[in-house]
Structure 1
Amino acid sequence: MLLALTGSSCSGKTTLAFSVSDRLERLAVHDFDEVGVPEGADRRWRQRMTEMWVRRALKYQDRGVDLLLTGQSPLGEVLAAPSAPLMDGIAVCLVDVSDEVRRSRLTTRDAGRWDAPAVDAFLGWAAWHREHARDPRHRPDVVVDDSWPPMAWHRWTGWTADDQRWRTHLLDTTDRLVAESADQVEQWVTQQRDALRAGRLTLSRGWSDLTVA
């Protein structure tokens, strides 16, 4: 299955993912950007690469291995990736942090790299992620407009927040020790795997064919 840790920059996604890599069996851990980020990378690039990672997850799936992927692709982009319905299961966790902490991390981790408008853009992207996680009807244009043509947005753009398939787990790392947040990620991965095996995972194979009243 594909387990995605998503969210805006500096929430701790990659640190947490690699912190649990040795704790869980048959789990591959990758960072979305490890293949390189070209100059001027935009939403079309992100969506195209999301499909690439879904295809890599399918290769792992064929070997009985799950993929824990860290990146910034929200649930809507993952579900719209052309190959997404071929996954046995999909689960997404939004790793978030307060604006104050994110701003501090952006200005200290990459000192001088981001000017004030760039930092504000990261904060705005984080705010959008939060609302998108709650309701698929919140500003879908942010990912849908001028998107990569193969994306299948129709799979979810008619859903509401009450649709059981629209589920993003929230992990807020504000004021948490890394070890504590890593424990939460490990627990979340285990729960999603158990739900898939028990037939309770709402985004198990066939999710895109269902009609929910």
Structure 2
Amino acid sequence: MLLKLTGSSCSGKTTLAYAAAARIGKIAVHDFDELGVPEGADRHWRHRMTEKWVRRALEFQDRGIDLLLSGQSPLGEMLAAPSAPLLDGIAVCLVDVADPVRRARLAERDPGRWDAQAIDAYLGWAEWHRKHALDPSHGPDVIIDGSWPEMAWRRWTGWNAGDPRWRTHLLDTTDRPVPESVDLAEQWIIEQRDALQAGQLPLRHGWA
């Protein structure tokens, strides 16, 4: 299955992914951007890369291994990737943090790199993630407009907030020690695997 830790920058996604995966067997962990991010990367690029990672997950799946992927692609993009229905299961967790903490982390990670407008954009993207996680009808144009033509948005654009398949778990790292957040990430992974094995995972094979 494909397990995705998503969210805006500086919430702790990659840190949690590698730390949690180190405790678990039969799981590969990768970061969405590890293959390189080109100058001027846009939605079109992110969507094509999302499909590429879904295909990597299918390769792991054939070997009996799950893929834990950290990156900024939200649930709607994962479900719209052309090959997504071929996965045995999909589960998404939004790793979030309060805006003042994200602002401080951005300044510490890349001193002087981001101006106020760029930081506000990261905060706006984080707010959109929160609302998208709860309701598929919230601002779908943010990810659909200018998208890669191969994306199958129709799979979920008719869903409502009450659809059991529209489920993103929230892990808020604000004021939480890293070891505690890692524990929660590990617990979430185990729960998703158990749900898949029990036939109770909402996004198991056949969801589309």
TM-score (norm 1): 0.97
Percent identity over paired residues: 73
Show the counterpart of 2:106: 106
Provide structure 2 residue ranges, at least 5 long, that are not aligned to the other structure.
none
* Residue 145, structure 1, aligned to residue 145, structure 2: yes
Q: Distance in 2 between matches of 1:20 and 1:133?
A: 22
Q: TM-score, normalised by structure 2?
A: 1.00
Structure 2 equivalent of residue 31 of structure 1 = 31
Q: Which letter does structure 2 place at the counterpart of 1:172? A: D
Partner of 2:71: 71
* Amino acid paired to 1:37: V
Match of 2:169 in 1: 169
Letter in 1 for 2:73: S
Which 5+ residue runs of structure 1 have no aligned equivalent?
Answer: 209-213
Alignment correspondent of 2:183: 183
- In the TM superposition, 1:45-84 aligns within 5 A as 45-84=45-84
Letter in 2 for 1:167: R
Partner of 1:88: helix, strand, or coil?
A: coil
State the 1:170 CA deviation: 0.2
Alpha-carbon shift at residue 108 of structure 1 (Å)? 1.1
Aligned residues: 208
CA deviation profile, 1:18-69 (whole Å, cap 9, x unmatched): 1112200000000000000000001111110000000000000000000000
- What's the secondary structure of 1:207's corresponding residue? coil
Q: After the TM superposition, which segments of 4 or more aligned residues of structure 1 sit over 3 Å from their partners?
A: none
Q: Quote the residue 1:211 is aligned against.
A: none
- State the alpha-carbon separation in 2 of the partners of residues 33 and 57 from structure 1: 15
Distance 2:22 2:90 in 1: 21
Shift of 1:173: 0.2
Please state whether the residue corresponding to 1:202 is helix, strand or coil.
coil
Measured in 2, the distance between the counterparts of 1:56 and 1:21 equals 17
Equivalent AA in structure 2 for residue 164 of structure 1: P
SS of the residue corresponding to residue 184 of structure 1 reads helix
| DSSP 3-state at the match of 2:158 | coil
Aligned partner of 2:37: which letter? Answer: V
